[in-house]
Chains A and B, each alone.
Chain A
Amino acid sequence: GAGVSQSPRYKVAKRGQDVALRCDPISGHVSLFWYQQALGQGPEFLTYFQNEAQLDKSGLPSDRFFAERPEGSVSTLKIQRTQQEDSAVYLCASSLGQLQPQHFGDGTRLSIL
């Protein structure tokens, strides 16, 4: 497709389960960002990839959060031992370069019961 694709669109998990969220960026986009958006708030930065290299993970809230982009294209955000405070919309954005306009996916809405 032409845009950034995220899957699943909705994910419900029980507290303590592991979840994996997928992002397919626009083909050719070098930069990939993950953001977390809590209800009623603006998104907050989680992590940044340039190709396969994770150059900034300063926004990851805990060591339960892990992101990878092994071939410099698709990225996966994994959350281990989920907690209720992990409930949020997780947004992925990609861009041609780190200073270029970012294109956003529709997000994955994660609900932890």
Chain B
Amino acid sequence: KNEVEQSPQNLTAQEGEFITINCSYSVGISALHWLQQHPGGGIVSLFMLSSGKKKHGRLIATINIQEKHSSLHITASHPRDSAVYICAVRGGSQGNLIFGKGTKLSVKP
């Protein structure tokens, strides 16, 4: 069993829809990251959180430490949001990240 599980694996949405991507983890962590990866490989860090909720523009990330679960929400989705969204947890003693397999999001106009 992977230490970080994401769902769904693939997600197709219509422009304007509210989107939720889920992440569950099985290890103790000091922080959880949500990352965005576009075709070509570049990764952008969206959020780093260790408790509660963070919001940036149309993106909202929440984490429940007791339940070992986090969600990434996108409001009013747009085709430019199409990318792979990766959940990663920092559990290693050296700060290295343990990644989920990613959720491929496609937003249709």
Chain B interface residue number, banded: 20 to 34
Nearest A residue to B87 via CB reads: A42
Bound complex: CA A104 to CA B43 (Å):
6
Interface residues on A, range: 20 to 34
- Segment 1-51 of B: residues with Cβ below 8 Å from A: 4, 30-31, 33, 35, 40-45, 48
Count contacts between A and B, CB distance < 8 Å.
70
* Any A CB within 8 A of the CB of B98: yes
The 10 A-B residue pairs whose C-beta atoms are closest, nearest first, are A98-B95, A42-B99, A107-B41, A104-B43, A45-B96, A106-B42, A56-B94, A48-B94, A42-B101, A101-B48
A35→B30 CA distance, assembly (Å):
19
Task: Using CB atoms and an 8 Å cutoff, list the residues of chain B in contact with chain A.
Answer: 4, 30-31, 33, 35, 40-45, 48, 86, 88, 90, 92-102
New A-B pairs, 10, CB < 8 Å, besides A43-B97, A95-B95, A97-B95? A42-B86, A42-B88, A45-B92, A45-B97, A56-B92, A91-B43, A101-B45, A102-B33, A104-B44, A105-B42
